[in-house]
C-alpha cells in the first residue's frame, strides 16, 4: 500500500515537470526559428521611433500583428498603449508581460543601416528621435513571446495579458501617461492580473547574461525645481541687492550634506543631483531670480521622505540667511522598482535555467523605471538581459551612440516564455 502511494505521489509530481520540459523544448525550438523575425521587428521599430504619448504608428504596427495572431486586442490604452489577451486552454492564473514602446529625444550617431532619421517635437523644439534605451528590442521580444505562446495556447494554464506600454520615459509636460495611467485606467483588471514580469536590455551586460535581485532593483525618482528670488543690483555694488546666484551656490553645496551626512548609506544608496541652473543676462548685473532643477533618487522609502524634508529645510534656511526667498517644488515621480521577495525566490531558478546558469544577482542601481507602478498593485519581477556586443565598448543608455547586439534578444524571448510556463505550473 505504501509503495503504491509512493508511486502515485511520484507520478503526480513527475508528469507536470515532464510537460514543462517538453513545453520549454518547443519554446527553445521556436525561439531559434523566429529569431530573424524578431530582429526584423526590432529594426523596424528602431528605424521608426516615436516620443512618449506619440507612439501612434508603433502602436498600430503592434496591434495589427496581435490581431493577426487572433488575440483579443485593445488599443488607445493610456493614449497609445496596446493590450492583448491570450486565454489558455486550461484554467490558471492571469500573468502580465510588459514591454515599453517609446523612444527618446536623441539624435542617433551609430553606423547601423537601420539608423533612425526620425524627428519629433519635444518641449516645443524639433529634435531627433531615437530608441536610445532599447525599448525597440523590448517590443520585438514580447511580440516573439506572443507568437510562441499563441501557437501553443492549448498548453497554457491560465491567461496571458500582453501589455505594450507607452511613455515609460515620462509623459510630455502637462500630460498623464505611462504605467501610472495604465494602472489608473484598469490595465490590471478585467481579468485581474495576479503577477507581472518585465525586462530591460542592457548595453553593458554581455549577451547571454541575466541580472536580477530581490527587493529594490531600481530607485525611486522625483524631479525638483527651486525658484530663488533676490533683489537686482549693479554688479559693482552687490550691497544694494540680494544675490540669488550666491544663494543658489550655497544651496547646491549645502544640499550635498543630505546624502553625505543624513543618509544611512550602508543601508541603501541615494542621490541628489542639480542638472539645471538659470539666472542672469549680463556679466555686471546681479539678477532678480535664479531657477534650478534636478533629480532625487532613493532605494528606500523612509530615506526618500527624509531627503524631501531635509531639502526643504536647507533651501528655506539658506535663502533666509542671505535675505532671499526660495520655493522648492518636488514633482511627482516613480516609486522604487521593487521585486517581490517571494516571487523573486520562486522565479530565480527559471532565470538560471533560461540563461544556462548565467543569471547573476546584481547590485541595485539608481536609474528608475515606471514598471514600479505595476509592482505597487501586484507582485512583480523585473530583470535585466545582456545586449553588449563582445567587440564593442558600451556607449551607455540615452546616448547618441547607444548600441545593442541583437543576438541577445533570443534569450529575452526564451526567458519571458519560461517564466510563464514555470509560474503557471507552480
What is the rounded average pLDDT of the residues 114-135? 97
How do beta strands 285-286 and 325-330 pair? unpaired
Q: What is the CATH number of domain 10-219+336-425?
A: 3.40.630.10
Catalytic residue chosen out of the listed positions 50, 108, 169, 406: 406
What grid cell was written down for 284? Answer: 555686471
Q: What is the DSSP string of 320-380?
A: HHTT-EEEEEEPP-B--EEE-HHHHHHHHHHHHHHTTT-EEE---BS---TTHHHHHHS-E
Contact 162, 420 (CB under 8 A): no
Cα–Cα distance, 16 to 383 (Å, whole number): 26
Cell numbers 501557437 label which residue?
Answer: 151
Q: Is-catalytic flag, 406?
A: yes
- pLDDT tens digits along 63-106: 999 999 999 999 999 999 999 999 999 999 999 999 999 999 99
Q: Give the pLDDT of residue 5.
A: 39
The secondary structure element, H or E, covering residue 78 is: none
**Fold agreement (10-219+336-425, 220-330):** no
Domain 220-330 annotated CATH 3.30.70.360: yes
Q: 16 pLDDT exceeds 70?
A: no
Averaged over 16-20, what is the pLDDT?
62
Q: Are strands 81-87 and 90-100 parallel, antiparallel or unpaired?
A: unpaired
Whether 55 is a known active-site residue: answer no
Choose the catalytic residue: 212, 334, 382, 403: 334
Does the structure show a pLDDT above 70 at 182?
A: yes
Q: Please state the domain extents for the chain.
A: 10-219+336-425, 220-330
How do beta strands 72-77 and 285-286 pair? unpaired
At 280, give phi and psi (nearest 5°): 90, 155
Higher pLDDT, 423 or 9: 423
pLDDT at 17: 44
Relative orientation angle of helices 35-47 and 2-33, to the nearest 10 degrees: 50
Give the pLDDT mean for 238-265.
Answer: 98
* 20 confidence band (pLDDT: 50, 70, 90): confident
Enter the pTM of the model.
Answer: 0.92
| Contacts within 8 Å (CB) and 24+ apart, 116-122 | 116/46, 116/47, 116/48, 116/49, 117/47, 118/47, 118/48, 118/49, 118/50, 120/50, 120/51, 120/54, 121/51, 122/51, 122/172
Mean pLDDT calculated for residue range 303-327: 98
Amino acid at each position: 500500500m505504501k509503495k503504491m502511494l509512493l508511486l502515485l505521489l511520484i507520478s503526480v509530481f513527475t508528469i507536470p515537470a515532464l510537460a514543462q520540459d517538453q513545453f520549454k523544448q518547443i519554446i527553445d525550438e521556436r525561439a531559434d526559428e523566429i529569431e530573424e523575425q524578431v530582429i526584423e521587428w526590432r529594426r523596424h521599430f528602431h528605424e521608426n521611433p516615436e516620443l512618449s504619448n506619440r507612439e501612434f504608428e508603433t502602436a498600430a504596427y503592434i496591434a495589427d500583428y496581435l490581431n493577426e495572431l487572433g488575440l483579443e486586442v485593445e488599443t488607445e490604452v493610456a493614449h497609445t498603449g496596446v493590450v492583448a489577451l491570450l486565454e489558455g486552454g486550461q484554467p490558471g492564473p492571469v500573468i502580465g508581460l510588459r514591454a515599453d514602446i517609446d523612444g527618446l529625444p536623441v539624435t542617433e550617431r551609430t553606423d547601423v543601416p537601420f539608423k533612425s532619421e526620425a524627428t519629433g517635437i519635444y518641449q516645443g523644439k524639433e529634435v531627433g528621435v531615437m530608441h536610445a534605451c532599447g525599448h525597440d528590442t523590448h517590443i520585438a521580444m514580447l511580440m516573439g513571446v506572443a507568437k510562441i505562446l499563441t501557437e501553443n495556447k492549448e498548453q497554457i494554464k491560465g491567461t496571458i495579458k500582453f501589455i505594450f506600454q507607452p511613455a515609460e520615459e515620462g509623459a510630455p509636460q502637462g500630460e498623464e501617461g505611462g504605467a501610472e495611467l495604465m494602472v489608473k485606467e484598469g490595465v490590471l483588471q478585467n481579468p485581474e492580473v495576479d503577477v507581472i514580469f518585465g525586462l530591460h536590455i542592457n548595453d553593458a551586460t554581455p549577451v547571454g547574461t541575466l541580472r536580477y535581485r530581490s527587493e529594490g532593483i531600481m530607485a525611486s525618482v522625483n524631479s525638483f525645481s527651486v525658484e530663488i528670488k533676490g533683489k537686482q543690483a549693479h554688479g559693482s555694488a552687490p550691497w544694494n541687492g540680494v544675490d540669488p546666484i550666491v544663494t543658489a551656490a550655497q544651496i547646491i553645496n549645502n544640499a550635498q550634506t543630505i546624502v553625505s551626512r543624513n543618509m544611512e548609506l550602508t543601508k541603501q544608496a541615494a542621490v541628489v543631483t542639480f542638472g539645471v541652473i538659470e539666472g542672469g543676462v549680463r556679466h555686471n548685473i546681479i539678477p532678480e531670480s535664479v531657477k534650478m532643477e534636478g533629480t532625487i533618487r532613493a532605494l528606500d522609502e523612509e530615506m526618500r521622505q527624509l531627503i524631501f524634508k531635509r531639502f526643504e529645510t536647507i533651501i528655506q534656511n539658506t535663502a533666509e540667511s542671505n535675505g532671499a526667498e526660495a520655493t522648492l517644488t518636488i514633482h511627482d515621480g516613480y516609486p522604487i522598482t521593487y521585486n517581490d521577495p517571494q516571487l523573486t525566490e520562486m522565479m530565480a531558478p527559471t532565470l538560471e535555467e533560461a540563461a544556462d546558469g548565467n543569471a547573476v544577482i546584481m547590485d541595485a542601481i539608481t536609474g528608475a523605471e515606471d514598471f514600479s507602478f505595476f509592482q505597487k498593485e501586484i507582485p512583480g519581477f523585473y530583470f535585466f538581459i545582456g545586449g553588449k556586443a563582445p567587440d564593442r565598448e558600451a556607449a551607455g543608455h540615452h546616448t547618441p551612440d547607444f548600441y545593442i547586439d541583437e543576438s541577445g534578444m533570443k534569450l529575452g524571448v526564451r526567458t519571458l516564455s519560461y517564466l510563464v510556463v514555470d509560474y503557471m505550473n507552480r
